[in-house]
Amino acid sequence: MDDHLTPTEERDALAAELALGLLEGQTRADALRLSLSDPAFAAQVAAWEAKLAPLHDEWANAQPGAAVWSGIERQLADAPTDKVTAIEMRLRRWRAGALLSGAVAAALAFVLITQPVPTPTPAAPQLAVARIESDAAGPLVLARYNQSNGLMQLRIHGFEPGTLAPELWVIPEGGTPVSLGQIGHAGEAEMTMPPPHRLLMTEGATLAITMEPVSKTPHPAPSSVAVASGKIITI
Amino acid sequence: MDGTQWSSGADEARAQLTAALTAVGRGDRAALRQVYDMTAAKLFGICLRICGERASAEDVLQTVYIKVWERAGQFDAARASPITWLATIARNGAIDWRRSVAGRTVHDTLPEQAAFAVADDSPLADQSLVAAEEGEQLHRCLGELEDRTRLCIRAAFFDGSTYAELATRENVPLGTMKSWIRRGLLRLKDCLGDG
C-alpha cells in the first residue's frame, strides 16, 4: 500500500480494524491470535472499542422473541456455579494467607483442589501445572502435566454447554497459539500429548481457552479471544 | 419502547443496571433476568442490524447473554458504562457470527436493500445511555473526516461490513478502501486525543 504507516501506526490501525470488525479470513484470524497472545495489542483493541462506544447510542431497538430467554435459562440450568464459586473462594483465601512463592502456591493450590483431604504428596519432579482462568467468576480449568510421560490431566469447571466448545491452546512465550484440541464443558479429562507438543509445555508458556465451533480436529488458529488463560509453572 | 425503560433518568437507570450486572458477576441468576429485561431490546437491535435476519439474530442474542453471564465478574463500573460493556459484547458476538461460515452463507442470501441502510449519516443520539461529552467529541471528530470515509466507518460499525464489502459497494479497489479507512481512523484518533 502507498500509505507508509510507521510500525506503531500499522499496529494501531490493525487494532482499530479488529475493533471495528473490518477484517475477515486469515487476516482476522491472525489479528485475533495476536490479541490473544499480546496483552498490549489486546489493550489497543479495547481502547478502540471505547473510542467508538458513543456510537452505541444510535442502534434502533428491536424486541426479541420469548424463546430467547427460555433458551438462556435452559443453558444456565445445569451450570455448576456453586462448585466453582466454592473452589474459587478456597483458593483466594488460601492465596491471601500463603507467604509462599507463586509457583509453590499454585502447585499447592492444585493439590488442594485435586485432593479434598490435604495429604502430603511425594516430591514429583517434571511436573507442570497451570490454572487457566478468567479475571473473575467464569470458566476455570486446572491443568497438570507430567513431563516424564507426556500425560496432561484437566479439571474443567464452569463452561456453559452450547453451540461452541472450549478449545485448549498452548502459546509459547512470544509465539503463536497451537491447538491441543477441544475439551469438555465440565469434569475431568486427560490425554497423552503428542511429542512435538510436549516441547511447548515449558515454564512461562501460556495455556488459553477459546470458544470454537465443534470440530474433531484441532483448529489451525483461534477465531475469538480467550475466555480463560494461565501460565505454565513447573515444579 | 426506548422511553419507558430509561425514563426514570439516565443516572438512575445506569446505577440499576450496574447493580444488576455486578450481582450477575456474583452468580445471581435473577439479576441476569433483570439485565435481560433492561437491555434485550437494545442488544437485539444490534444483533438484528448486523445479522440481517431475526432467526440468526435471536441465536446470537442468546449466546450474548450466556457470555454476559460468564464474564459479568470482569465488568468494572469504573472503566466502562454497563450499556457500553453489554453493547460491545453483543456487537462482537454478531460480527463473529457474520464472519463464520454460517453467517456468510445466510448473509449472502439476504436481499441487497438492507445493506446500505446506514447511509443515513444523522446521529440520532439517545444521550441517556452514554456520556454526552464523549459522544459530542466523537461526532465532532467524525465530522472532520471526508464524507465517504465517515460513511464507510459508520457502515463498518453498524452493518458489520468488511473491507471487501465496502470496496464493492463504493466501487473502488480494495486497497483504496483500506487506505481511506486506515487514514480516517488514525485521523480520528489524533482528533480524539490519546485517552
Sketch the domain layout of chain A as residue ranges.
Answer: 7-114, 127-234
Residue B4 phi, psi dihedral angles, 5° rounding: -65, -45
Top pLDDT among B54 and A136 is at B54
Contact (CB<8Å) A20/B156: yes
The x, y and z cell numbers of residue B89, run together, are 459484547
Q: Which amino acid is at A16?
A: A
Would you say residue A201 has pLDDT above 50?
A: yes
Does position A90 have pLDDT exceeding 50, yes or no?
A: no
For B154, name the nearest residue in chain A, comparing CA atoms only: A55
Alpha helices, DSSP H, located in chain A: 7-20, 25-37, 39-52, 66-77, 81-97, 102-114, 195-198
Q: What span, in angstroms and rounded, lies between the C-alpha atoms of B40 and B48?
A: 12
Distance CA A111, CA A100 (A): 15
- Nearest CA-CA partner of A136 in B79, B87, B31, B72: B72
Cβ contact A65–B73 (<8 Å): no
In the structure, what pLDDT confidence band is assigned to residue B132 with cuts at 50, 70 and 90? Answer: low
- Strand order, beta sheet including A151-157: A178-182, A164-171, A206-213, A228-234, A127-133, A140-146, A151-157, A187-192
Q: Is pTM beyond 0.80 here?
A: no
For the record, the C-alpha cell of A156 comes out as: 474443567
The residues pairing with A127 across neighbouring beta strands, listed in sequence order, are: A146
Mutate to test the interface with B, among A5, A68, A83, A92 (most CBs of B within 10 A): A68
Q: What is the pLDDT of residues B99-124, one digit of tens each?
A: 887 777 777 766 654 444 443 444 44
Determine whether the interchain pair A164/B63 forms a contact, defined as Cβ–Cβ distance below 8 Å: yes
Mean of per-residue pLDDT scores for chain A:
77
Size of interface A-B (CB pairs under 8 A): 188
Q: Which CATH architecture has domain A127-234?
A: Sandwich (2.60)
pLDDT at res. B153: 96
Residue in chain B lying closest to A72 (CA): B62
Coil vs helix vs strand at A227: coil
Asked if B153 and B142 touch (Cβ cutoff 8 Å), the reply is yes
Contact A59 B164 (CB under 8 A): no
Rounded to a whole number of angstroms, the distance from the CA of A23 to the nearest CA of chain B is 6
Cell triple for B61: 442474542
pLDDT one-digit tens code per residue, B68-89: 998 898 898 888 889 999 999 9
SS3 content of chain B, % helix, strand, coil (to 5): 75, 0, 25
Chain A residue nearest residue B133, CA to CA: A54
Query: Which residue is closest to B132 within chain A, CA to CA?
Result: A54
Chain B residue with minimal CA distance to A137? B73
The verdict on ipTM greater than 0.90 is: no
Distance of residue A78 Cα from the nearest chain B Cα, in angstroms: 12
pLDDT at position A91 over 60: no
How confident is the model at residue A82, as a pLDDT? 45
Is B62 touching A (CB cutoff 8 A)? yes
* Positive or negative: CA dihedral B105, B106, B110, B112: negative
Of A21, A58, A162, the CB nearest to B124: A58
Instruction: Write down the pLDDT at residue B16.
Output: 92
Residue B105 in grid coordinates: 452463507
Distance CA B100, CA A223 (A): 9
The answer to whether the Cβ–Cβ distance between A1 and B178 falls below 8 Å is yes
